[in-house]
Amino acid sequence: MSSRYSFGGDEHVFVEVSEEMSLEAFFKALSMTNAVRDAEISGVTEICPANASFQIKFDPDVIRPDDLLTELRRLEDIADRAEATLDTRIVEIPVYYRDPWTHETLMRFRERHQDPESTDIEFAARINGYSSVDDFIAAHSGAPWFVSMVGFVSGLPFLYQMVDRARQIQVPKYLRPRTDTPRLTVGYGGCFSCIYSVRGAGGYQMFGITPMPIYDPDQETSYLREFMVFFRPGDIVKWRQIDRDEYDGCTADVQAGRYTPRIRDVVFSLEDFNRDIDGTNARLEETLYAD
């Protein structure tokens, strides 16, 4: 997998790791941005990782563009030869699927949808070949997801399903974006799931909502007091379906400062995952729920 380098004006280098979304591409982009950060290259002022690509901002008065390219290619060679493992964490995210708030919102925007006669999750289930919405929810929540990028708006994670390509859910975005999306909506567009960290416009299909805040600029949420953004690239997420009673209970716990996300540290090996996808996912889930 050979990366493509290009300049963005006088102060940016854009590196495209792959044109195809894959765990391999995400892993390499993450490894390279981590390596750039660890190298503390003089003149590099900002590192912006994305899905299968990244961008570096630099000061051309401190480092020449060609010298930066040389250093980035050296780090890429190291990343290509390194063992593809990641010290990360797996996190449980509760989801209230088919909740009343996203349902009310999606019904206001049916004229912008591919199938105005169905809900977003009914549409997604049908086009992916599931016989029922319950079966679709089981597939969406059944396997872990890899956080490939955090951004677009503050704190929003892009999540890639950790299953073989044949089982990956694919859902197009709305024909025209909505002007409203409830905060903490669990959405889907293309091959990515996401959580809307703030209320605002959006085009992803809406499947449900989580009671767990993931962005708090005031840092009043108990588990966001050290840093306002919850997710980091490389995090692994396990959705867990909840009902209205549990949603209300979690919301009350968040407001009272009692809520603590379930998080476990893990070492993820891309080689082990590719060798045994279901077995790796089962071990990740076992670690998450170990006492």
* Distance (Å, whole) CA 64 – CA 109: 50
pLDDT in tens, the chain (291 residues): 678 999 988 899 999 988 878 888 888 888 888 889 989 999 999 998 888 888 999 999 999 999 999 999 988 887 777 678 889 999 999 999 999 999 999 999 999 999 999 999 999 999 999 999 999 999 999 999 999 889 889 999 999 999 998 999 999 999 999 999 999 999 999 999 999 999 999 999 999 999 999 999 999 999 999 999 999 999 999 999 999 999 999 999 999 999 999 999 999 999 999 999 999 999 999 999 997
Positions of CATH 2.40.100.10 in the chain: 87-288
185 Cβ contact list (under 8 Å, min separation 6): 102, 105, 195, 196, 202, 204, 206, 208, 209
pLDDT at 26: 84
The secondary structure element, H or E, covering residue 74 is helix 65-81
Topology classification of domain 4-82:
Gyrase A; domain 2 (3.30.1360)
Nearest to 242 by CA among 90, 99, 106: 99
Instruction: For residue 190, give the DSSP letter.
Output: B
CATH number of 87-288: 2.40.100.10
Positions of CATH 3.30.1360.40 in the chain: 4-82
> Would the pTM of this model clear 0.85, i.e. be above it?
yes
8 A C-beta contact, residue 229 and residue 213: no
pLDDT at 76: 86
Q: Which residue(s) pair with 95 in the sheet?
A: 241
pLDDT at 1: 60
CA angle centred on 138, ends 135 and 144, rounded to 5°: 145
One-letter amino acid of 141 = S
190 Cβ contact list (under 8 Å, min separation 6): 170, 171, 172, 173
pLDDT at 116: 96
DSSP letters for 121-182: HHHHHHHTT-SSHHHHHHHHHHS-EEEEEE-SSTTPEEEEE-S-GGG---BPPPSS-BS---
